[in-house]
Amino acid sequence: MRVIAGELKGRTLAAPAWDGLRPTSDRLRETLFNVLAPRIRGARMLDGYAGTGAVGIEALSRGAVEVVFVERDRRAVALIEANLARCGLRDRHAIIRSDLATVTGLARVAPFDLVFLDPPYGRATLDEALDAAVALMAPDTLLIIEHARRDEAPASYRSLQRTRTLRSGDSALAFYRVADEEPGA
């Protein structure tokens, strides 16, 4: 894995030495950031289910002002810390070791401009991620959820409306915004 663009372009990132962690591929990250390019500079971002931290580090490399990493696995938290150190990133980030669905106080540090969630693949965890995201959304927040291509992301979920889906290999990215209220609602 490597940082694809920005001030840290070309830096290598450590990968997990254990099974069960599925880092976002370089190709999918590149696709994601091609879409996010106009919004990333100056953005506050949440990288939930952060894993290796590659997505959040890519955001910092491309000019995000702050990234909050949320990850429950202590080994992954150590990996995120190591990857941040490899890149010389000492500020502009926070790491919260917790499950995204149960982390307390995260809504108080919102709103985020961008929320990226990469839960373990499966329909149940996709719904859990959407539940957790609803509390973090402001009218102009963009939510992106990486999911298995076979697990179609819902067109709408509570106050969220899917605006776009990108597919790459076995993975897909679903983009959501807070739905505009109907007139008179």
Q: Which of 152, 92, 143 is nearest to 122 (CA)?
A: 152
Taking 50 as the pLDDT cut, the residues of the chain under it are: 182-185
Global pTM reads 0.91
pLDDT of residue 181: 58
Helix, strand, or coil here: 69? strand
Helix, strand, or coil here: 179? coil
Instruction: Report d(CA 32, CA 12) in Å as an integer.
Output: 19
pLDDT of residue 110: 65
Instruction: Report d(CA 6, CA 148) in Å as an integer.
Output: 28
Exposed, middle or buried: residue 95 (CB in 10 Å: 0-12, 13-18, 19+)?
buried
pLDDT of residue 183: 43
Residue 18 CB coordination number (10 Å): 9
Instruction: Report d(CA 163, CA 177) in Å as an integer.
Output: 7
pLDDT of residue 154: 94
Domains of the chain, start order: 1-9+41-151 (3.40.50.150)
* Bond preceding residue 111 cis, omega within 30 of 0: yes
Helix, strand, or coil here: 54? helix
